[in-house]
Amino acid sequence: MQALGRHILLELYQCNIETLNEPARIESILIEATKASGATIVSHDFHAFNPYGVSGVIIIAESHVTIHTWPEYGYAAVDIFTCGESIDPWVIQDKIASDLGSESTSTMEMKRGLFKMPQGESIHHKPLQGAIESI
């Protein structure tokens, strides 16, 4: 079986609580981590909640990176979904976990879009440099 995508589910416990509630800092951490992996950022969208917490998403040509923070629990849920073979999602995970100061991390990698290919044939990854249109 071959997979179209890799999806890392990242549970970050015991993070720096102040950082978890700083929307601009969270946005910057995610963008820098994503750039460090070589992924192509298509758009990003972050929101702060009242009384606390941040939700944000970065759409990348290779799929997405999302975060939701619960400062009251010192916890952040991060998802890193990539396709293709040109970028390493673990670069993103390492940088986010470190920048949020997580002292207890749990990670799982899921394969997404599994297909049985004919012998000797590889799954076709979409060209990532193609034009991208906003809808």
Instruction: Report, as residue numbers or ranges, the catalytic residues.
Output: 63, 68, 83
- Binders of a copy of itself: how many residues, by CB under 8 A? 52
Q: State the burial class of residue 4 (Cβ atoms within 10 Å of its Cβ: 0-12, 13-18, 19+).
A: middle
70-99: which residues touch a copy of itself (CB under 8 A)? Answer: 70, 72-73, 75, 77, 79, 81, 83
End-to-end CA distance of the chain: 33
One-letter-per-residue 3-state SS of 63-111: EEEEEEEEHHHCEEEEEEEEECCCCCHHHHHHHHHHHCCCCEEEEEEEE
Binding mask 46-75 for a copy of itself (x = CB under 8 A): xxxxxxxxxxxx-x-x-xx-x-x-x-xx-x
Question: Contact between 112 and a copy of itself (CB under 8 A)?
Answer: yes
Residues that bind a copy of itself (CB under 8 A): 4-5, 7, 9, 11, 23-24, 27, 42-43, 45-57, 59, 61, 63-64, 66, 68, 70, 72-73, 75, 77, 79, 81, 83, 108, 110, 112-115, 124, 126-127, 130-135
